[in-house]
Amino acid sequence: MTDATATVGDGAKLSAGARGTARVVFPRPAAAPAEHEDPYKYKYIIAIAVTLAAVLELIDTSIVNVAIPHMMGNLGATLDEISWVSTGYIIANVIVIPMSGWLSSYFGRKRYLTGSIVLFVAASFMCGASHTLIELVLWRVVQGMGGGALLSTAQTTLFESFPPHEVGIGQAMFGVGVMVGPTIGPTLGGWIVDNYNWPWIFYINVPLGIVAAMMVYTYVHDAAHQARARRIDFPGIFLLATGVGSLQWMLERGERYDWFDSRFVTALCVISVTSFVLLLWRELTTDEPVINFRVFRSRQLAAGVSIAAFLGLALYGSIFVLPVFLQQLHGFTANQTGLVILPGAIASAVMMMWVGRNANWLDARITVTIGALLFLLSMYQLSYLSLDAGRGDLFWPLIWRGLGLGLIFVPLTNATMADLATKDLAQGTGMFNLTRQLGGSMGIAIMATLLTRFTTIARGTLVDHVTASDPLSLSRLQGITHAMIARGAAPLVAHQQALEIMDRQVQAQASVLAFSKIYLLSGVLLVASLPLLLFFHTGKARTTVRDLH
């Protein structure tokens, strides 16, 4: 004899057993079954996985710089040729970043993010195994394509992997990686090259990348709002690749070719501008764009993305300048430079974690302003460094810089995305990361150009005062000459050596004056972006899931 059941209301069922007894059976709570477990259960594991992947991508942007002399000798390449190892990676990277939202929807977030990490790891191994320059550049381009997803897609994943009231914690973990990655890249690269060989700067990605890929594949899931495009926007992809690629190429090579005095650089500029105009027209007139520029209807996003460009310009410009200052003028090694910068990176990480935990009540308009002013204070103090400066003179300026950046990154990111519907987060984070990256490339290009020109101007001013009619200059020349004679040099040789020493001293002092101006310029540029905060109608982070429509 079988049981009989009947529904009696609210999901409860009246059950008649084999002996005719009746009992009311209530359904089990919906959260109890395994398939309905807490969607945020693995949020910290996901955060570790995607942040690890992002850190690997960012480290590889700068880690190769210290290994370039070794690569040149091993591969028989010139400096101009070997520079494509960095240029090819960055160009591929910035092309993919704005497409990552569309690619994530097309392939599925889980498959796209996992596949990108696998591609990055495989390309890293092939870079280390390369025996010719062409092989190395080719695999660096592939590596850059894989790495493009590891920033914006990772950041979007974190927005949806944490409950709305805890999203600041996830962004803080990601922010620590974004800020620390470029800092430790040269230091780690210098240590690896000194103790092993240059291929190991690529091989180190393999085990860490495999771990990240396995964690992402296991714990990351596709977004609930994900909708796959029905067709591929090939014209949009072509225009994006042409526009962004030409701009990045121009920024990478502009200083070497003396900017617009070169027809090649001018042509790159024209191609880039034309491609961007056509891309904007194309994406606003097609139903399924590869980049949805319509998200810029959000005034908050438009303002936040613009500030991100200034942040990238000031941050990457100062990151580029400081190691050059320490290594060229003070004779620091890459490892020593990293140790000097490390306290500031730790200060930034600590501040980001504090900001992340308190993101719900912090107002980005206030924290970003305070952070920018701390950054300006840091640059102001660095501008007073001289040739006699030691590690102690750098400690507090770099602490202020770290604290300032910690107050900026997480609140700015959260507030920038505050107005976006959940389905638009991928596009928003893609544009945020693209502008910060392009701002960084522009910052490095501008600072490198200005550093050369400021040094030339300062040298000309100093040389005007170091003349045969200047008593102080003559006294110094005689003192150095006598010192050289005391060491056994002939009088004429000693005089020539003294002139060369004074020339190097003038050049060094000119460089110090140039670095001073660069530091101040970096701080002023970031502060100059603060009026854009007036376009924010709120400085608070997202605390609810936005309507998907």
- Torsions phi, psi for 426 (to 5 deg): -60, -45
Per-position b or e across 83-96, b if 16+ CB within 10 A of its CB: bbbbbbbbbbbbbb
* Count: domains in the chain: 4
- 451 and 307 within one domain: yes
Report the candidate in 57, 37, 32, 45 with the shortest Cα–Cα distance to residue 161: 45
d(C-alpha 33, C-alpha 29), whole Å: 8
pLDDT mean across residues, the chain: 81
- 475 and 442 within one domain: yes
340, 332 contact by CB (below 8 A) = yes
pLDDT higher at 343 or 87: 343
Report the candidate in 466, 81, 75, 503 with the shortest Cα–Cα distance to residue 253: 81
Report the candidate in 249, 320, 270 with the shortest Cα–Cα distance to residue 88: 249
| CB-CB neighbours of 7 under 10 Å | 9
pLDDT higher at 365 or 333: 365
Q: List the single range of 29-33, 293-297, 459-463 with lowest mean pLDDT.
A: 29-33
- 446 and 513 within one domain: yes
User: Does 529 reside within a domain?
Assistant: yes
3-state secondary structure of 544: coil
Q: Which residues contact 402 (CB under 8 A, 6 or more apart)?
A: 179, 343, 344, 345, 346, 347, 348, 349, 351
Q: List the single range of 25-29, 48-52, 95-99, 182-186 with lowest mean pLDDT.
A: 25-29
pLDDT > 60? residue 82: yes
Q: List the single range of 314-328, 416-430, 503-517 with lowest mean pLDDT.
A: 314-328
- The pLDDT of residue 211 is 92
Q: Starting at the earlier edge strand, list the strands of the sheet with 12-16.
A: 4-9, 12-16, 22-25
Tokens matching residue 491 = 């009088």
Confidence of residue 397 (pLDDT cuts 50, 70, 90): very high
User: Measured on CA atoms in the order 529, 530, 534, 535, is the torsion positive or negative?
Assistant: positive
- 270 and 199 within one domain: no
What are the distances in angstroms from CA 90 to CA 103, 189, 255, 324?
Answer: 19, 17, 17, 20
d(C-alpha 438, C-alpha 311), whole Å: 11
* Parent domain of 65: 42-232
What are the distances in angstroms from CA 254 to CA 217, 259, 268, 444?
Answer: 41, 4, 10, 11
The partner residues of 14 in beta bridges, in order of sequence, read 6, 24
pLDDT > 70? residue 541: no
- The pLDDT of residue 278 is 93
Element (H, E) at 259: none
State which amino acid sits at residue 379: M
The partner residues of 22 in beta bridges, in order of sequence, read 16
| CB-CB neighbours of 62 under 10 Å | 22
Element (H, E) at 358: none
pLDDT > 50? residue 30: no
- The pLDDT of residue 18 is 41
What are the pLDDT digits (tens) for 143-184? Answer: 989 988 887 788 788 887 888 777 778 878 887 777 777 667
Confidence of residue 229 (pLDDT cuts 50, 70, 90): low
Report the candidate in 343, 344, 324 with the shortest Cα–Cα distance to residue 334: 324
Domain end residue (candidates: 289, 324, 357): 289
- 443 and 334 within one domain: yes
Q: Which residues contact 442 (CB under 8 A, 6 or more apart)?
A: 251, 309, 312, 313
d(C-alpha 535, C-alpha 351), whole Å: 25
Query: To the nearest whole percent, how much of the chain has pLDDT over 70?
Result: 88
- 369 and 346 within one domain: yes
Domain end residue (candidates: 214, 232, 250): 232
What are the pLDDT digits (tens) for 95-124? Answer: 888 888 888 888 888 888 999 999 999 999
- 370 and 334 within one domain: yes
Side-chain-facing half-sphere of 121: CA atoms under 13 Å? 17
User: Does 20 reside within a domain?
Assistant: yes
Domain end residue (candidates: 232, 247, 262): 232
Cα-based torsion angle of the residue sequence 219, 223, 227, 229 in order, rounded to the nearest 10 degrees: -50
Q: Where are the beta strands (DSSP E) in 224-309?
A: none
Q: List the single range of 29-33, 331-335, 353-357 with lowest mean pLDDT.
A: 29-33
- The pLDDT of residue 183 is 67
Report the candidate in 213, 89, 105, 205 with the shortest Cα–Cα distance to residue 153: 105
What are the pLDDT digits (tens) for 130-141? Answer: 888 889 989 999
What pTM does this model have?
Answer: 0.80
| CB-CB neighbours of 448 under 10 Å | 19
139, 126 contact by CB (below 8 A) = yes
- The pLDDT of residue 248 is 81
User: Does 37 reside within a domain?
Assistant: no
Confidence of residue 358 (pLDDT cuts 50, 70, 90): confident
Q: Which residues contact 219 (CB under 8 A, 6 or more apart)?
A: 42, 45, 46, 49
- 127 and 271 within one domain: no
User: Does 35 reside within a domain?
Assistant: no
251, 441 contact by CB (below 8 A) = yes
- The pLDDT of residue 539 is 77
pLDDT higher at 423 or 227: 423
The secondary structure of 366-396, three-state, reads HHHHHHHHHHHHHHHHHCCCCCCCCHHHHHH
d(C-alpha 539, C-alpha 366), whole Å: 8
- The pLDDT of residue 124 is 93
Confidence of residue 90 (pLDDT cuts 50, 70, 90): confident
What mean pLDDT comes out for the span 48-62?
84
What mean pLDDT comes out for the span 186-191?
75
d(C-alpha 159, C-alpha 116), whole Å: 19
The partner residues of 25 in beta bridges, in order of sequence, read 13
- The pLDDT of residue 5 is 45
Q: Compute the residue count for the chain.
A: 549
What mean pLDDT comes out for the span 123-127?
93
pLDDT > 80? residue 259: yes
Tokens matching residue 191 = 């240590």
What are the pLDDT digits (tens) for 162-172? Answer: 887 777 788 78
pLDDT higher at 198 or 6: 198
Indicate which CATH number applies to the domain containing 182. Answer: 1.20.1250.20
What mean pLDDT comes out for the span 378-394?
87
- The pLDDT of residue 542 is 61
| CB-CB neighbours of 75 under 10 Å | 18
End-to-end CA distance of the chain: 53
- 340 and 267 within one domain: no
Query: To the nearest whole percent, how much of the chain has pLDDT over 90?
Result: 17
- 473 and 387 within one domain: yes
User: Does 217 reside within a domain?
Assistant: yes
- The pLDDT of residue 549 is 40
- 61 and 24 within one domain: no
- 279 and 164 within one domain: no
User: Does 36 reside within a domain?
Assistant: no
pLDDT higher at 26 or 147: 147
User: Does 524 reside within a domain?
Assistant: yes
333, 327 contact by CB (below 8 A) = yes
What does the DSSP 8-state code read for residue 202?
H
